[in-house]
Amino acid sequence: MNKKGIILIVFLILVVLHQDFWNWDNANLVFGFMPVGLFYHACYSLVAAGFWAIVMKVAWPTELEEWAEGGTDSSKGGDQ
């Protein structure tokens, strides 16, 4: 499987992990002050950042920048 396929699968897994139904009625506190459901999603934000950092590293679209620089700038871009 190519890199894009793996990234898509991990993304979908993260979407599923966002629906943490197993924490729905869990009132336990982490570190004595943070409800489990909130702690889980705070960690989820960090995992999301880590995921995108890895995506940047392994699937950076180098060709996009070159393509962007290759055109001519038009002052009336809306015209066809």
Partner 1 sequence: MISVVVIAIYLGLLLTLALFSKTLFRGTSKDYFVASHSIGPFMLLMSVFGTTMTAFALVGSTGKAFGGGIGTYGLMASSSGLIHAACFLLIGMKLWAIGKRYGYVTQIQYFRARFESKAFGYLLFPILVLLVIPYLLIGIIGAAKTIYGVSVTKVTPKGEIPGAFPDFFENGAIPPWLTGIVICGVVLTYIFAGGSRAAAWANTFQTIVFMIMGILAFYLISNELGGVAAAMEKASDAHKVRTVDGEVGFSQLTFLTYMFIPLSVGMFPHLFQHWLTAKSAKSFKLTVVAHPICIAIVWVPCVLIGIWATGVPQLNGAPAGAVLAKTVAVLIKNPVIVGLVTAGILAAIMSSLDSQFLCLGTMFTNDIVLHNSKKEYSDKQILFMARAFIVAIVVLTYILSLVLYKKNVFDLAIWSFSGFAALTPLVIASLYWKRATKTGAYACVIGVFISWVTFFTMSGFGGEYFLLGGIVPAAAMWFIGAGGMVIGSLLSQPPSKETVSKFF
- Cα 71 from Cα 63, distance rounded (Å): 13
We find the least distance from the C-beta atom of residue 57 to partner 1, in angstroms, to be 10
- Cα 3 from Cα 34, distance rounded (Å): 37
Written as six digits, the tokens of 78 are 């809306």
- Binding footprint of partner 1 on the chain (CB under 8 A): 11, 14-15, 18-21, 23-27, 29, 32-35, 37-38, 41-42, 44-46, 48-49, 51-53, 55-56, 60-61, 64-65, 67-80
Question: In this structure, what DSSP letter does residue 25 have?
Answer: T
Question: Would you say 2 or 72 has its CB closer to partner 1?
Answer: 72
We find the least distance from the C-beta atom of residue 63 to partner 1, in angstroms, to be 10
